[in-house]
Amino acid sequence: MANIAPKLPDGLKKEFEQIVAQYEFKRGALLPLLHKVQEHSGYLEQDILVGIAGYLNIPQVDVFEIATFYTLFNTRPVGNNVILVCDSISCYLKDEEKVFAQIKRILQIGSGETTSDGKFTLFTTSCIGACDRAPAMMVNDKTFFKLTPEKITDILKEY
């Protein structure tokens, strides 16, 4: 890994302290801190991850593992709206591929890409816990169920 200068996000010091104070062991605050940073900055910069490792006094590799394991965390800049389309088995069996193709067609981007206007970034993800209402996707914090290509057009208009 390149030499990265540790840093903590500007303006989150007090919130970091409040989060950490809720845990007996500082390490337990890792996930909430990552969520807070993403909420604040839109993604998790490498130097911030290094800063969090130092702040919690835990190995950097542990922080990077968590940040890259969960698809809900972005480790590079993303658009204003992040679309996560579930491609796990229940959604796949309910024509998730048609839904995904419709999103790609409308936005003119592929998985992992951001529209040229910076409005949307598109990813596939594993199960988001809505298998009984498949196919499903999330746009930012909102989950959409029983998707069809027709519904996608209306949903994207909302954003």
Smallest distance, Å, CB 60 to ligand FES?
A: 32
Rule CB under 6 A: choose which of 37, 82, 83, 86 binds ligand FES. Answer: 86
Residue 81: strand pairing partners? 120
Q: Which residues have a Cβ under 8 Å from the Cβ of 24 and sit 6 or more positions away?
A: none
Per-residue interface string for the shown chain with ligand FES, residues 124-153, x marking contact by CB under 6 A: ---xxxxx--x-x-----------------
Smallest distance, Å, CB 71 to ligand FES?
A: 12
Rule CB under 6 A: choose which of 41, 71, 90, 111 binds ligand FES. Answer: 90
Q: Does 155 bind ligand FES (CB under 6 A)?
A: no
Nearer to ligand FES, 63 or 137 (CB): 137
Task: Evaluate the omega torsion of the peptide bond into residue 59 and state whether it is cis, within 30 degrees of 0.
Answer: no
Rule CB under 6 A: choose which of 60, 88, 115, 124 binds ligand FES. Answer: 88
Instruction: Please tell me the distance from the alpha carbon of residue 44 to that of residue 76, in angstroms, as a whole number.
Output: 7
Dihedral of CA atoms 83, 113, 131, 38 in degrees, nearest 10, equals: -50
Nearer to ligand FES, 16 or 100 (CB): 100
What's the token pair of residue 156? 């994207």
Instruction: Please tell me the distance from the alpha carbon of residue 90 to that of residue 96, in angstroms, as a whole number.
Output: 9
Smallest distance, Å, CB 135 to ligand FES?
A: 6
For 41, left (φ over 0), alpha (ψ -120 to 50), or beta?
alpha
Report how many residues bind ligand FES under the rule CB under 6 A. Answer: 12
Smallest distance, Å, CB 144 to ligand FES?
A: 11
